[in-house]
């Protein structure tokens, strides 16, 4: 098979009208003039010979190196000594002969020929080139790609296109390529393959980028913190003569448009005008990326770098993604003034992006979001829209063999226990807490009932950890932060309302007012870990109400009115007000959080430091063993057995993360009719526990939590349906959390009023008694109250004496204090039974229906 003429293929850079082909338009980071000026191919026609008008070159423009190369018929890259013939030959040999070790053993086709056949099927004309393959095949070629990417990548594209045409499109009709006549499709025949190098030998830190990297191919990792809208960037301008209607096309050179002055056809001067609808544009996007927290040196702040993405890479990533970027490091001059061309001596650096990829395989991946508008077309037979889909990058990592490993692992009867042991293995005990965290990692199923108008139900599980210091709460948060995708870790005291949601800033390019995403928006479809939750300002905590239940953040600032997605699970940790948890007080009194916020947590765990010699010894043995590989301490038999079991069934973090990712993306458990009856029965049973004491032991939010946790438990087994055992375990986890957090310290009974209102039953009864006696006392002095009203101090003194005498029920153990008296007055005023007139500190009290 004769190879295609690369010189002929290179002519497709320009069409017969002098316009750019798809090749130049798609490569947004290229300077078309640089490509055409350089004598890269000896047979590249002069503009005058090829019929192109309005573009003239001279030896002065080509430069000394180019002129010398042209006279000696030596084909070299512009400004280098790289022989283009050798470069093309090496590229072609690499694409047509390279085989991986297993492919070589099995006698399979070359690796990149196989990938090109996949391109022919998918019609996505991108070829991912692993740079480690290139380095192993030809170190010099790898070095040329790394040092001169602006020149080498376009030639690589042309060589790949020629190989694609020779080895894939020009095949026998029996192979199934082409149309019925055996000829290749016209679109595929004209297509230009774009190569996207990845997996470079060395990855750099953002702060390590210096002027020595300018115009070189680099790779680095970071977190995306901002993406702009798609910007149309002009690549080729069209001018039309107003007299003779002659059209002329001009490339954009370094951001400038060289408008033609004289018309060569009618000899008119300054008769050209730009025709915008005939100009060629490419999509462009500004992206801001920040160093990952683990890469920031001690005592320093994370650094950022600006990037420019083009065409298919626009909107490929979103804020909060952890990505590995391959691109070309650029430096651009800055004008002293926008109206003059004088430049400053300081240049602005940025990255021209060539490709993105997910950077951390230790984190589980998310289900890909549905395309815009897809949720509005839910099928009628199943009026529910579930979060489905799969990230393409992650799909490539999961081989069929890996998926078989997942299914084999899920079939293990002890899969639940093995997964629990994989959650923060360095933390001792707290098994129920780990079970709750595990359910949060797997998550429930988000549902959107589109046609019936029943709204959206969240699948994310919110958890609050509350307890004594030094009980590994922060370690649990750090573990979840490291394994969860789009995980954001923040502290309560160091967070503000705008830092959690969005804040207003000006775009450095357009100077327009834009919104920058905060922690909740950045962790969309991830987990937001908030430490020191109790120390967060009240104004900041108010923001969480909408985000935790509706999973949105509403903004109305600076003329921008919008609603942003915050579909994130919240994992928070709080310490008691007085450092040590007081079991005589309720959770609300211990951590001083508003009940409206507490009620939005699915699970609230108390992690207390209880003194017990046996448990203390086991904990100390566990901590000491973490610092040594030897078993120098004599452990109990059951501890030895447990340690050996963990070692033999240990799950590495990468398998654990991929297993969670696979379950979240592919498993959407259904709830059968039988399971629905079980859920209803369990909920009614939980409600009936408070009938005897007239307390609320469960609310509809506990029922929704029960459903989410049961679905998460089914995902752990990769089960398509929720089982009865899942419901029973979900009920047990909820009861266990309620017994710790919602137990009335005065009665020992579960009372949901503690979470929803912040009041225990004893306090509620006491407050009701005070309210009743206030009304009774005012009735005794009805005439005085009707005429002048009763003074605040007089009524308080009167009630205090009655309390001391034991005349008021439920006030025998504790005397009446002014705080309770004031709270009772506020309750009666809210109920519309009394009026408080005059000064707020000492008002006059009247009946609500009496005149002022």
| Range list of β-strands (E), 150-198 | 194-198
What pLDDT score was predicted for residue 384?
36
- Residues (pLDDT < 50) of the chain are 1-6, 9-26, 33-72, 172-184, 186, 361, 367-396, 631-632, 693, 812, 851-852
- Can you give the residue ranges of every domain in the chain? 6-198, 206-358, 385-666, 761-847
- Distance from C-alpha of 190 to C-alpha of 21, rounded to nearest angstrom: 10
Contact 193, 129 (CB under 8 A): no
Q: Which of 298, 400, 289 is nearest to 353 (CA)?
A: 289
- Distance from C-alpha of 127 to C-alpha of 118, rounded to nearest angstrom: 10
In Å, how far from its chain's centre is CA 674? 36
The CATH number given to 6-198 is: 3.30.1640.10
Helix residue spans in 2-130 (DSSP H): 6-10, 22-26, 32-37, 59-62, 64-71, 84-97, 101-106, 111-122
- β-pairing, 231-241 vs 247-251, is antiparallel
Q: Which fold has domain 385-666?
A: Rossmann fold (3.40.50)
Q: How do residues 363-417 score in pLDDT, each as one tens digit? A: 555 544 333 333 333 333 333 333 332 233 444 457 788 889 899 999 988 888 8
- Distance from C-alpha of 111 to C-alpha of 778, rounded to nearest angstrom: 92
In Å, how far from its chain's centre is CA 373? 21
User: 530-552 burial string, b = 16+ CB within 10 Å, else e?
Assistant: bbbbbebeeebbebbebbbeebb
What pLDDT score was predicted for residue 57?
33
What pLDDT score was predicted for residue 487?
76
Task: Report residue 613 as tokens.
Answer: 């010699």
In Å, how far from its chain's centre is CA 844? 56
Output Rg (C-alpha) for the chain, integer angstroms. Answer: 35
- β-pairing, 603-607 vs 463-467, is parallel
* Crossing angle between the packed helical segments 400-410 and 415-422, to the nearest 10 degrees: 110
Residue 770 parent element (H or E): helix 761-780
- Distance from C-alpha of 654 to C-alpha of 659, rounded to nearest angstrom: 8
Indicate the class that CATH gives domain 206-358. mainly beta
In a 3-state reduction of DSSP, which class is residue 640?
A: helix
Indicate the class that CATH gives domain 761-847. mainly alpha
In a 3-state reduction of DSSP, which class is residue 501?
A: coil
What pLDDT score was predicted for residue 504?
77
Contacts of 437 (CB under 8 A, 6+ apart): 423, 424, 463, 476, 480, 571
Dihedral in degrees, nearest 10, Cα atoms 590, 759, 685, 459:
-60
Contacts of 438 (CB under 8 A, 6+ apart): 419, 420, 423, 712, 716
In a 3-state reduction of DSSP, which class is residue 470?
A: coil
For the chain, give the number of residues: 852
Task: Report residue 580 as tokens.
Answer: 């040590």
What pLDDT score was predicted for residue 595?
76
What pLDDT score was predicted for residue 332?
85
């Amino acid at each position: 098979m004769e190879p295609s003429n690369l010189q002929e293929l290179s002519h497709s850079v320009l069409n017969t009208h002098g316009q750019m082909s798809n090749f130049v338009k798609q490569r947004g980071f290229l300077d078309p003039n640089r490509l055409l000026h350089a004598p890269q191919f000896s047979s590249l026609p002069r503009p005058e010979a090829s019929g192109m008008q309005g573009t003239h070159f001279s030896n002065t423009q080509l430069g000394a190196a180019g002129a010398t190369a042209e006279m000696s018929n030596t084909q070299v890259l512009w400004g280098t000594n790289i022989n283009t013939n050798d470069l093309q030959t090496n590229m072609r040999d690499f694409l047509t002969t390279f085989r991986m070790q297993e492919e070589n053993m099995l006698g399979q086709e070359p690796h990149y020929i196989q990938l090109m056949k996949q391109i022919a099927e998918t019609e996505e004309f991108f070829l991912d080139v692993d740079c480690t393959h290139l380095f192993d095949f030809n170190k010099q070629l790898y070095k040329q790609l790394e040092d001169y990417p602006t020149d080498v990548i376009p030639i690589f594209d042309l060589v790949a296109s020629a190989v694609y045409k020779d080895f894939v499109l020009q095949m026998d009709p029996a192979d199934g390529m082409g149309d019925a006549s055996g000829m290749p499709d016209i679109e595929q025949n004209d297509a230009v393959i774009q190569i996207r190098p990845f997996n470079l030998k060395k990855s750099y830190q953002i702060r390590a980028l210096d002027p020595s990297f300018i115009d070189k191919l680099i790779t680095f990792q970071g977190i995306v913190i901002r993406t702009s809208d798609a910007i149309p960037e002009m690549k080729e301008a069209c001018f039309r003569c107003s007299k003779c209607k002659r059209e002329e096309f001009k490339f954009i050179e370094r951001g400038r448009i060289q408008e033609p002055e004289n018309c060569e056809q009618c000899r008119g001067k300054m008769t050209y005008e730009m025709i915008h609808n005939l100009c060629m544009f490419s999509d462009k996007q500004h992206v801001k990326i920040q160093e990952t927290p683990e890469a920031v040196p001690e005592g320093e702040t994370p650094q950022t770098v600006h990037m420019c993405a083009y065409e298919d890479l626009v909107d490929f990533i979103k804020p909060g993604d952890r990505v590995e970027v391959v691109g070309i490091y650029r430096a651009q001059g800055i004008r002293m003034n926008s109206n003059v061309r004088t430049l400053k001596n300081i240049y602005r650096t940025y990255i021209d992006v060539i490709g993105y990829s997910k950077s951390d395989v230790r984190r589980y991946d998310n289900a890909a979001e549905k395309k815009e508008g897809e949720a509005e077309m839910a099928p009628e037979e199943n009026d529910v829209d579930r979060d489905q889909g799969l990230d393409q990058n992650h799909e490539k990592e999961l081989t069929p063999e890996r998926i078989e490993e997942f299914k084999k692992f899920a079939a293990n009867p002890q899969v639940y226990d093995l997964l629990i042991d994989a959650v923060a293995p360095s933390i001792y005990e707290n098994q129920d807490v780990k079970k709750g965290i595990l359910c949060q990692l797997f998550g429930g199923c988000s549902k959107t009932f589109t046609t019936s108008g029943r709204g959206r139900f969240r699948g994310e599980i919110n958890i609050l950890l509350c307890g004594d210091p030094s009980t590994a709460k922060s370690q649990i948060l750090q573990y979840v932060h490291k394994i969860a995708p789009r995980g954001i870790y923040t502290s309560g005291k160091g967070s503000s309302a705008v830092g959690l949601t969005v804040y207003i800033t000006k775009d450095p390019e357009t100077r327009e007012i834009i919104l920058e995403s905060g922690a909740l928006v950045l962790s969309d479809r991830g987990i937001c870990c908030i430490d020191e939750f109790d120390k967060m300002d009240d104004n900041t905590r108010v923001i969480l109400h909408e985000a935790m239940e509706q999973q949105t953040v509403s903004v109305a600032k600076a003329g921008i009115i919008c609603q942003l997605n915050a579909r994130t699970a919240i994992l928070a940790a709080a310490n008691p007000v007085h450092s040590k948890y007081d079991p005589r007080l309720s959770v609300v009194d211990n951590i001083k959080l508003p009940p409206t916020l507490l009620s939005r947590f699915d699970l609230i765990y108390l992690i207390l430091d209880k003194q017990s010699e046996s448990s203390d010894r086991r904990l100390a043995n566990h901590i000491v063993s973490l610092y040594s590989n030897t078993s120098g301490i004599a452990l109990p038999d059951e501890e030895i057995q447990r340690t050996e079991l963990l070692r033999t069934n240990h799950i590495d973090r990468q398998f654990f993360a991929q297993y969670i990712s696979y379950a979240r993306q592919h498993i959407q458990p259904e709830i059968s009719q039988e399971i629905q009856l079980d859920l209803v029965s369990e909920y009614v049973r939980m409600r009936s526990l408070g009938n005897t004491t007239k307390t609320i032991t469960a609310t509809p939010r506990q029922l929704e939590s029960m459903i989410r946790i049961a679905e998460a438990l089914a995902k752990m087994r990769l089960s398509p349906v929720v089982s009865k055992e899942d419901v029973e375990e979900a009920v047990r986890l909820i009861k266990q959390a309620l017994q710790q957090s919602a137990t009335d310290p005065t009665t020992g009974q579960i009372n949901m009023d503690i979470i929803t209102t912040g009041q225990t039953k004893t306090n509620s009864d006491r407050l009701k008694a005070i309210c009743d006696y206030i009304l009774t006392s005012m009735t005794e002095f009805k005439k005085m109250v009707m005429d002048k009203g009763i003074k605040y101090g007089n009524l308080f003194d009167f009630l205090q004496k009655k309390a001391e005498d034991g005349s008021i029920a439920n006030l025998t153990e504790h005397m009446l204090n002014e705080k309770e008296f004031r709270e009772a007055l506020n309750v009666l005023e809210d109920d519309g039974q009394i009026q408080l007139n005059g000064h707020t500190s000492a008002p006059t009290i009247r009946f609500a229906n009496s005149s002022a």
